[in-house]
Amino acid sequence: MIAIGCDHAGVEMKKAVISALTEKGYELKDMGTDGEPCDYPVIAKAVCELILSGECEKGILICGTGIGMSISANKFKGIRAALCSDSFSAKYTRLHNNANVMCMGARTLGNGLACELAEIFLSTGFEGGRHQRRIDMIE
């Protein structure tokens, strides 16, 4: 299960990502918002808590730039959130950093690219090896 959430700036992108990922067989838990103005740290907390509880494996967070969601999510011990804006960062944040949350900016990316990046992020595994030592240092 994948947790997904956005603030009011990311509603349309979130809908597009949910549609694309559902079509590919992913199960998602939508933590809002559906358009009403909200504070992005509240949504980030809801998504991160689902991951930390084990109810969801990974998360996707969307706000205007993705920066606020990334900062908020990284305040939670055990969360490794990465702001992704291209396929290389979406792939390597999983391969090398074992990120469990991907953040994107609805005002900086198009919906089509966001859907592609989400698929790359979710389908890429962690290499482990020398990278695990570094993850342990972060934790």
Query: For residue 5, what are the CA distances in angstroms to 77, 90, 92, 120, 133?
Result: 19, 18, 22, 18, 30
pTM of the model: 0.97
d(CA 24, CA 27): 9
**How would you write the pLDDT of the chain (139 residues) with one tens digit per residue?**
999 999 999 999 999 999 999 999 999 999 999 999 999 999 999 999 999 999 999 999 999 999 999 999 999 999 999 999 999 999 999 999 999 999 999 999 999 999 999 999 999 999 999 999 999 988 8
Which residues make Cβ contacts (< 8 Å) with residue 60, sequence separation at least 6?
A: 2, 3, 4, 5, 17, 47, 101, 102, 103, 104, 118, 121
Catalytic residue check, 63:
yes
Q: What is the pLDDT of residue 138?
A: 86
Catalytic position from the list 6, 56, 63, 115: 63
The CATH number of the structural domain formed by 2-138 is 3.40.1400.10
